[in-house]
Chain A
Amino acid sequence: MQSSDRPVANSRVAIIIAAIMLPAVLTLALASRPSSVGPAELKPQIGKLVSLASEGRLLAEQSSQQRTTRAFAKTQTDMLADNTDQLDQSLNQMSAKATADIKSKLTVASGLTRQLKSDLEALSRDPTKATGDLKVLNQSATALEQSL
């Protein structure tokens, strides 16, 4: 140690560490309580569906106009499809805890998610048709989001 180095007191370090860790642990404890799934929990998931459908539509549009490369369109589509799978899984997990008022909306959301997966698979074959299909799906998802 250099002669002029003055170590930070351990008590101060302990205060810094406690200040960081305590709120994190408390929040984790509170947030991990089991809770039911209502409109507030469903809305962000539908927002994700809107986002994925909208991005898919944009990608299909750019592909049909040949403004993107084949590798980019294919890879981005695959990644959007992976995210759609994850969304489908989280919607399925939600259904067990869903309150009665959102059960029907959750079913609609699951249907739209599966439709999105299918539209994304069709994107590389016929981007022009996919543009139209994804536009319709995006409108349905947006309407569902606004109903929550």
Chain B
Amino acid sequence: MSDLLEVALGIMTAVGGFIDIGDLVFATQAGAQYGFQLLWVVVVGVVGIAVYSEMSGRVAAIAGRPVFDLISHRTSRPVGLGVLIASEIVNVMTCAAEIGGAAIILRLLFGLPYRWLLVVVILALVSIVWFLSFDMIERLFGLGGLGLLIFTVAAVALHPNWGQVVTGFVPTINHATPLTFAYFVVGLFSAALMPYEVYFYASGAIEEGWKRQDLTLNTITVGIGYGLGSVLVMALIMFAAKLFIPLGIVPQVVGTAAFGAMLPFAKAGLLIALIGMLFAIGGASIETCFAGAYNLCQFFDWDWGKHKKPGKVPRFTKSWLIIFAAALAVIMSGIDAVKLTEYAVIFSVAVMPLTYLPILLVAGDSKIMGQDANNRLTNLIGWFYFGLIMVAAVTAIPLMILTHMGQG
């Protein structure tokens, strides 16, 4: 029974923790501009992140090796250092965007000054990370993020045309504005496959001491948890399509997404949505910060782990504190959180290939993984997705420039 509860909690945590500010921004903008036409990208993206998270979790459980350990050992030192620097820049950018997003949500809830709330957010996050265990942090933010389910209820309550919804799962090209459409395809795909997610997931597996017997939990968490989490992203696209297209609204600020719950359910829906967004974005800011600290420690072979007391792992503790401080400095500079999110998502594709390739190579290496190495089908899917990741990596920045960040 307790095992079942553990699995259920794991799934709920994965669902609630699936959404971050990148998903909120890209999904609502995509729905507002292209209706249901981009739903298929969510499916492609979630299968990709599930495949690679499952592999990284399996490698962590069997070989005891997190992602950046694989990167540093599968590439030469200068290349590994280059990937580390690039991934740290993206992690800090993403963390800054998430902190900014959390402060905006608090401002929408309480109406207090933004800059003060940035400080409140960072103090709250540092306190939570300092005092709560890894499990507690995951549960707190994952379960709090379930408030986002209000968007799923709202998407249904708005009575979408289900025939059009189904059509949205068929891959298509928009001939009227093909470049902007392609930008959103790449943006949604990249938001689903943000590298910090696998850095955090694999390191978390090691934090929780996963062994071979946890492989089923690994498969269930990524399969069901991520699958259900992607329903939330689809709901964001669906309500944005239903609500914003007729009004000509293209969301430009984080709070616009909350209309999706406010219009059908008034104040109660608004508050549930904002609280869900606060926990989802707050949780993502911790994940990105930890991902950065894990990467640093794993690359330089420093002792790390949230399960250890802060004083026992001083370099790890300093790393996450410095990343939070750097992220606060970035967002305090006055940069717009939504713009920063878009930059972070698009630039993250530059580090994607050299993040995912080592995972694929090690997960398929029977000398390291033994009988738990990738089978042919998993390898095939992994290489197929690596091809998609390369296409996204090559096209992301040109599309961002050519479409002025999706504005046409």
Contacts and interface: CB of A to CB of B under 8 A. Distances in A.
Contact of B270 (A27, A50, A68, A74): A68
B44 interface: no
Given A43-B408, A67-B266, A75 B249 contact: no
Nearest to A5: B73
B73 A2 contact: yes
B259 A58 contact: yes
Nearest to B352: A20
A27 B65 CA distance: 38
B173 interface: no
A76 interface: yes
Interface residues of A, number: 43
A54 B251 CA distance: 11
A27 B258 contact: no
A54 B249 contact: yes
Contacts of A95: none
Nearest to A80: B253
Nearest to B33: A47
A51 B252 contact: yes
A132 interface: no
B267 A20 contact: no
Contacts of A64: none
B354 A13 contact: yes
Contact of B407 (A4, A19, A44): A44
A28 interface: yes
Contacts of B249: 51, 54-55, 58
Contacts of A79: 104, 253, 255
Interface in B223-255: 247-250, 252-253, 255
B76 A7 contact: yes
For B110, B398, B402, B408, which residue has the most chain A Cβ atoms within 10 angstroms?
B398
Interface stretch (B121-129, B209-217, B278-286, B387-395): B387-395
B33 to A, nearest CB: 10
A24 B407 contact: no
A51 to B, nearest CB: 5
A7 B358 CA distance: 9
A71 interface: yes
Interface string A29-47: 0010000000000011001
B402 A20 contact: no
Interface stretch (B15-23, B90-98, B361-369): B361-369
Contacts of B367: 4
Given A72-B255, A74-B111, A48 B407 contact: yes
Interface residues of B, number: 51
A24 B108 CA distance: 37
Contact of A7 (B65, B74, B262): B74
Given A20-B394, A27-B402, A10 B407 contact: no
A83 interface: yes
A20 B365 contact: no
Given A71-B107, A71-B108, 16 more contacts: A4-B365, A5-B362, A6-B365, A13-B76, A19-B393, A20-B350, A27-B401, A28-B397, A31-B401, A50-B248, A51-B249, A72-B262, A75-B107, A76-B253, A83-B252, A138-B248
Interface of B: 65, 73-76, 79, 104, 107-111, 247-250, 252-253, 255-256, 258-259, 262-263, 266-267, 270-271, 274, 349-350, 353-354, 357-358, 361-362, 365, 367-368, 390, 393-395, 397-398, 401-402, 404, 407-408
9 contacts: A2-B73, A5-B368, A23-B397, A27-B401, A44-B408, A51-B248, A68-B267, A72-B258, A75-B255
